[in-house]
């Protein structure tokens, strides 16, 4: 994903915004935005499930914060 595409797509939750400010690599920012989109509307194809699973396992606290914000 290109850097300008990441900048054009802003996170919807405060938890994602805080983490995005600390992201020091475009790939990390892309994963963060992917995770937030996954929690909002999770597609069920295999590749997406695998990617989401990897990101969710490494960021359980962030996942919980994003879920809580999206439910509120």
DSSP 6: H
pTM: 0.70
| Per-residue model confidence (pLDDT) at position 37 | 86
| Per-residue model confidence (pLDDT) at position 8 | 53
Q: What percentage of the chain reaches a pLDDT higher than 70? A: 88
* Mean pLDDT score, 42-62: 88
Domain range for 7 is: 3-71
* Mean pLDDT score, 34-58: 86
Residue 26 clears pLDDT 80, i.e. is over it:
yes
Provide the number of structural domains found in the chain.
1
pLDDT tens-place string over residues 4-17 = 444 456 788 898 88
């Amino acid at each position: 994903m290109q850097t300008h595409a990441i900048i054009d797509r802003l996170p919807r939750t405060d938890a994602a915004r805080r983490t995005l400010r600390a992201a020091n690599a475009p790939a990390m920012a892309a994963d963060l935005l992917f995770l937030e989109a996954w929690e909002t509307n999770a597609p069920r194809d295999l590749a997406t499930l695998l990617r989401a699973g990897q990101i969710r396992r490494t960021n359980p606290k962030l996942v919980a914060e994003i879920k809580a914000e999206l439910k509120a």
